[in-house]
Amino acid sequence: MDKEQFNDLLNKYKQNKLSKEEEILFEKELDKYESYQDFLDGESEKDYKKTISNPPSKHMKSLNKGKRKAIISNALMTIAIALMILPMCTIFSFVYYGYGIADSRGNNFIQVAADTISITEPNATVDFQNIRTNVGLFSMEGDFDIYKQIGNNQKHLRTDNLTLFLNKVDQPERLKDFNAQKFSHPENPSLSTTNDVNQQLQNLPDGTVSEVFVSLDAFYSEEEIKNIFSDIELDILWYAVNTGIVDDTKYTAIGYPAQDGDINSSFNNKEENSKQFIQVLNRLNKYQDWAETITQNRSLNINEVTKFIDENGIEIYGVVVTGPTKELLKLNEIPEVTNQNLGGVELWNWR
Cα-trace Rg, the chain: 44
Query: Residue 167: helix, strand or coil by DSSP?
Result: coil
Task: In whole angstroms, give the CA distance from residue 80 to residue 73.
Answer: 10
Mean pLDDT of 194-200: 91
pLDDT, mean over the chain: 83
| Maximal C-alpha separation, the chain | 148
How far the first Cα of the chain sits from its last, in Å, is 132
pLDDT in tens, 24-78: 776 777 667 666 666 666 655 555 455 445 555 555 555 566 667 678 777 777 7
- pLDDT range class, residue 114, cuts 50, 70, 90: very high
Q: Taking Cα atoms as reference points, which of 101, 112, 165 lies closest to residue 134?
A: 165
Residue 316 amino acid letter: I
- pLDDT range class, residue 176, cuts 50, 70, 90: very low
Q: Taking Cα atoms as reference points, which of 255, 113, 112, 275 lies closest to residue 182?
A: 255
CA 113 to chain centre: 14
pLDDT in tens, 260-310: 877 778 888 888 999 999 999 999 999 999 998 888 777 788 899 999 999
CA 128 to chain centre: 21
Query: What pLDDT score does 82 carry?
Result: 64
pTM of the model: 0.73
